[in-house]
Amino acid sequence: MKLTVMALRNLGRNRRRSLLSAISIGVTAIAFLLVLGITEWMKSDIRENITTYISGDVRIRHIEFQDDESIHPLRYSLSPGDELVEEVLRVPGVKAVSPRIHLGSVVYRDGKTIPARGTAVNFRLEESFQALSDHIIQGGMPEPGSKNALFSRSLAEKLDLELHDSITLLLRTKRGASNAVTLKVHAIADFSDASANAMSFFASLPLMQRILRSSNELMEILIQSDGDVKSSALAERISRRLEETGFSTDQFSIMPWQEISQLWSIMRMAEISYAVLALILFLLGSTVIINTTIMTIHERSREIGMLGALGMEPGQIVRLFFLEASFLGVIGAAGGVLLGFLMGIPLEQAGIPMYDSILQDAGVRELSGRMFVKVTPYTAIVTFFSASVVASLSSYLPARKVSKIHPVEALRVNQ
């Protein structure tokens, strides 16, 4: 108790220096908290976009699809599609499925041809999978099997499309021949995903299967988990189910979403880098406390000698300076976390524009067009304890060094 009182009293002896030390830790804590907040948002955003637009929690494709994807994607398809979907829906842990065919097409309008990326979906199943109707800003959900389609806001603006307008798509069939279909703009939607909002549209799966001459064939099936089972375990369940019902699983690539996204793998590795960066930031911030401790020791050498002469043990001297640094760390960390949390509120609500076109040109499909900061209790606690611990430990070596000085030698200093 006496050491605690002495430590608190000593902080007030040079308030300007103590304030500077606390501020340095606080600024470091703010920076680290915001970096953690952006990282947490990116992880959440990447997972949401991957599992909704790219792969689902689990994705099924033909085992050889990847090799021919850019040249002839319809060559290796999933068949029979309807039976596969029915069996997957029977697997425990499956919440929803999205059978799809990706459409690398060219849009013909007013004498111009513009490349566009479309997806043929079963609108009834897709509504359960990603709630397309929640993104619609004009019009309504297209009817299954019709020539009505849903266009992203960006594509509609690029083509100067309005509701009930018609456009012609030029497509390549499964056998490599050309075919065309005229679609009617039945809905315009605004997506959070940068690539989905860029140059995309959704058309009826049965219609496109006829146009592409790929009856009852699918390019992929995306599966959404009910949340009670991990994606890797769900992938194993699906594989067993299909094998038990007579499907040749050797022809299927059944993968959980974590194994599909390269950006997610990069993010997992980046977390280690962020941890190292945080340690460096806190060590840099703690240099102020180290400097403060060294200066304090120099100025109070006679006092330290006097305490030693009166019977204070070297370990108690170390604890005294350790407590002083701990109080500075706690005060700075608490202030930094509080200010960082307040700064994160507008960033969490308004976000930072990232520009869809830049993400699209860079080939980044997993991130939304706006960056947010997600400050959680976890990030706040990690930041607070990291700052406090590093600040406290930074005083240990200088304090231990001075504790070994003989009281008589300490009393001679500055005489």
> Given this model, what pLDDT does residue 410 score?
52
| pLDDT above 60: residue 196 | yes
Say whether the peptide bond before residue 99 is cis (omega within 30 degrees of 0): no
pLDDT tens profile 247-274: 887 888 899 988 887 777 676 666 677 6
| pLDDT above 80: residue 371 | no
> Given this model, what pLDDT does residue 47 score?
80
> Given this model, what pLDDT does residue 270 score?
67
| pLDDT above 70: residue 401 | no
Query: What mean pLDDT, rounded, does the chain reach?
Result: 79
> Given this model, what pLDDT does residue 273 score?
73
Please give the average per-residue pLDDT across 184-191, as a whole number: 90
| pLDDT above 90: residue 98 | yes
**In the chain, pLDDT over 90 holds for what percent of residues?**
20
Domains of the chain, residue spans? 2-51+263-412, 56-259
Confidence of residue 198 (pLDDT cuts 50, 70, 90): low
| pLDDT above 80: residue 353 | no
> Given this model, what pLDDT does residue 379 score?
83
Identify the weakest region by mean pLDDT among 32-41, 114-123, 139-148, 162-171.
32-41
> Given this model, what pLDDT does residue 93 score?
93
pLDDT tens profile 301-343: 666 666 666 667 767 777 777 787 788 888 888 998 899 888 8
Please give the average per-residue pLDDT across 161-187, as a whole number: 87
pLDDT tens profile 201-249: 899 999 999 998 888 899 999 999 988 888 989 999 999 999 888 888 7
Q: Which residue has the higher pLDDT, 187 or 413?
A: 187
